């Protein structure tokens, strides 16, 4: 993508303009998308994204540019433009004169695919997806099944003025099944969407029939669902994608992107007890083949396992280079970006609540009236006030300790710091699930996860 001498000259040129730090990020990504409706290909597209981003620091000031033209002449010109925009320029730094000694590292292949995309043709993919389509048709109510298949093969290079020279390759595959059910009561949808940092072995690791059936059954269940109850009540949240509530209510509040600007309500709280004893919260970018894993982050730092909260006590934030500069906290390999069109910011990777020791049954016992939020949709947070929301995709009423009829249209709302204090019991069945997270540096793959857990009180928004 970029040869060493070009990177070196570029970085030297930036330092000569007075930058304290210079970084070049180059990327080439091949992607393929397929959309099937009732197994007929509706849309198929393939693409190459290729570009570079140059980031300079002048103190804590960040100056960023990106371009698709990777010629040395253009990259040098872009650097000049940046220095001019910064308003400085002209100051010659002695460091700019000499060459850089890049410490080259290559990925060890921790998340390398077993079956690369070239291993099978597109017909093979459609045959495997057909298993999901067939399985989704759990009854005559299922009228349509839509399946998306996404494949991405991203190669990146990060080089900087501290001698970092990292390459990484991220291969990711995901398919998403939406089942549409219809009867005289209306239309409802069910969803399942497994994804991993693997190649086409995804179809063996996450069997299409299993996920197809889950989507079909969810759509059918929702057809019979009544409007959700409303008001504050105890809520049991299911495992896997249930973790999205703490991704919103807690995770985003621990990114230095808002902590460094003091726009997070959890700023300056290291060492403080912010959650109940039952909560240990981890962000782990090293989990083998997980959807949000990579060997290096998008600043060229190795990813790591970061314990954010241990038994309720805040242990670490998620720290990128700029966040570290602003706060003095140790970088945690959390600098991520969607692609070269974004400068990196601190972001989550695979973030989950660790397993506890409560039995699942015990979570429901003693609830006179509450909600079982079995499957989650997405959510959103305002870090400055901690106000968050997230949608319940599949929910049930809990009465006298028993899970009863399904309900639709429930949304949970609250303030993150209050909700984490109210986690009173955590089960042992921790599981992760993939999703996409949108923030300042774009939309990136992350996993969320947790075991089944009980929150003593949360506001449920519903119509019933």
Partner 1 sequence: MTLQEAQTYLLRRARERGVELEALATGSRELTLRARGGDLEEITEAESAGIGVRVVTGGKTGYAYTEELTPEALDWMLAEAVENAELQADTDGFLPQGRSLGRHDLLGEGLSAPVDEKKQVALALEREVQKDPRVRQVGAATYAEREHQTELASTRGAAGGFRSGYAYQMVNAVMGEGASVKQGYELKVSREVAALDPASTAQDFLYKTGRLLGARPLASGRYTAYLEPKAFLALLAPFVSMWSAKQVIEGKSRLADKLGQQVASAVFTLYDDPDHPEGLANAPFDAEGTPTRRVYLLREGVVESFLHNSQTARKLGHEPTGHASRSYKGVLGVAPHNLIVAPGAGVRLEEGVLVTDLMGVHAGANPISGDFSLQALGLKVEGGEAAYPVENFTISGNVFELLERIVAVGQDLEWSVIFLVGASPMVEVADLAFAGA
Alpha helices (H) along 298-368: 321-327, 360-364
Q: Which residue's CB is nearer to partner 1, number 26 or number 358? A: 26
Give the shortest CB-297-to-partner 1 separation in angstroms. 19
Q: Which residue's CB is nearer to partner 1, number 241 or number 364? A: 241
Give the shortest CB-241-to-partner 1 separation in angstroms. 11
Give the shortest CB-282-to-partner 1 separation in angstroms. 24
Residue 26 contacts residue 156 (beta carbons within 8 Å): yes
Q: How far is CA 66 from CA 51, 150, 299, 342, in A?
A: 7, 25, 15, 8
Q: Which residue's CB is nearer to partner 1, number 58 or number 354? A: 58
DSSP state of 58: E
Give the shortest CB-356-to-partner 1 separation in angstroms. 26
DSSP state of 440: T
Q: Closest Cα to residue 174, out of 193, 192, 155?
A: 193
CA angle, 13 then 346 then 277, to 5°: 155
Tokens of 446: 């992350």
Q: Which residue's CB is nearer to partner 1, number 155 or number 429? A: 155
| Cα distance between residue 297 and residue 19, in whole Å | 22
Q: Which residue's CB is nearer to partner 1, number 269 or number 315? A: 269
Q: Which residue's CB is nearer to partner 1, number 115 or number 144? A: 144
Q: Which residue's CB is nearer to partner 1, number 27 or number 284? A: 27
Give the shortest CB-311-to-partner 1 separation in angstroms. 27
Q: Which residue's CB is nearer to partner 1, number 98 or number 124? A: 124
| Cα distance between residue 217 and residue 211, in whole Å | 10
Buried b (16+ CB within 10 A) or exposed e, 192-214: bbbbbbbbbbbbeebbbeebbbb
Give the shortest CB-230-to-partner 1 separation in angstroms. 3
- Find where tokens 């969407």 sit: 193
Tokens of 426: 């955590």
Neighbouring C-beta atoms of residue 82, cutoff 10 Å? 21
Give the shortest CB-26-to-partner 1 separation in angstroms. 12
CA angle, 314 then 315 then 320, to 5°: 110
Give the shortest CB-449-to-partner 1 separation in angstroms. 18
| Cα distance between residue 195 and residue 337, in whole Å | 19
């Amino acid at each position: 993508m970029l040869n060493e001498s070009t990177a070196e000259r570029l970085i030297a040129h930036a330092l000569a303009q007075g930058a304290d730090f210079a970084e070049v990020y180059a990327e080439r990504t091949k992607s393929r998308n397929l959309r099937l409706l009732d197994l007929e290909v509706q849309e198929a597209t393939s693409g190459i994204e290729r570009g570079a981003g140059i980031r300079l620091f002048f103190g804590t000031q960040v100056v960023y540019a990106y371009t698709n033209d990777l010629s040395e002449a253009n990259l040098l010109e872009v650097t000049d433009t940046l220095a001019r925009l910064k308003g400085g320029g002209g100051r010659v730094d002695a460091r700019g004169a000499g060459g850089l000694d890049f410490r080259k590292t290559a990925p060890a292949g921790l998340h390398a695919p077993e079956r690369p995309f070239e291993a099978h043709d597109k017909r093979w993919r459609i045959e495997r997806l057909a298993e999901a389509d067939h399985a989704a048709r759990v009854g005559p109510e299922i009228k349509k099944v839509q399946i998306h298949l996404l494949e991405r093969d991203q190669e990146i290079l990060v080089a900087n003025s501290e001698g970092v020279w990292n390459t990484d390759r991220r291969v990711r595959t995901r398919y998403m099944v939406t089942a549409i059910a219809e009867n005289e009561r209306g239309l409802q949808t069910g969803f399942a969407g497994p994804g991993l940092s693997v190649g086409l072995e995804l179809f063996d690791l996450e069997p299409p029939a299993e996920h197809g059936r889950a989507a079909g059954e969810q759509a059918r269940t929702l057809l019979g669902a009544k409007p959700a109850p409303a008001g504050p009540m105890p809520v049991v949240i299911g495992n896997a994608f249930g973790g999205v509530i703490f991704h919103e209510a807690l995770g985003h509040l621990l990114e230095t992107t808002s902590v460094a600007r003091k726009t997070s309500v959890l700023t300056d709280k290291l060492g403080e007890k912010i959650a109940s004893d039952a909560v240990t919260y981890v962000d782990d970018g090293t989990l083998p083949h997980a959807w949000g894993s990579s060997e290096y982050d998008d600043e060229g730092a190795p990813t790591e396992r970061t314990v954010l909260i241990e038994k309720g006590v805040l242990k670490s934030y998620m720290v990128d280079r700029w966040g570290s500069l602003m706060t003095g906290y140790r970088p945690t390999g959390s600098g991520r970006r969607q692609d070269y069109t974004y400068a990196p910011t601190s972001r989550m990777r695979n973030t989950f609540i660790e397993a506890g020791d409560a039995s699942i049954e015990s979570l429901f016992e003693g609830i006179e009236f509450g909600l079982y939020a079995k499957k989650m949709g997405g959510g959103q947070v305002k870090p400055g006030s901690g106000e968050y929301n997230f949608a319940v995709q599949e929910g049930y009423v809990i009465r006298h300790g028993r899970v009863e009829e399904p309900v639709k249209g429930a949304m949970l709302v609250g303030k993150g710091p209050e909700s984490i204090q109210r986690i009173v019991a955590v089960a042992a069945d921790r599981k992760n699930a993939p999703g996409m997270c949108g923030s300042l540096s774009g939309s990136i793959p992350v996993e969320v996860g947790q075991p089944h857990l009980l929150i003593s009180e949360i506001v449920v928004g519903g119509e019933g």
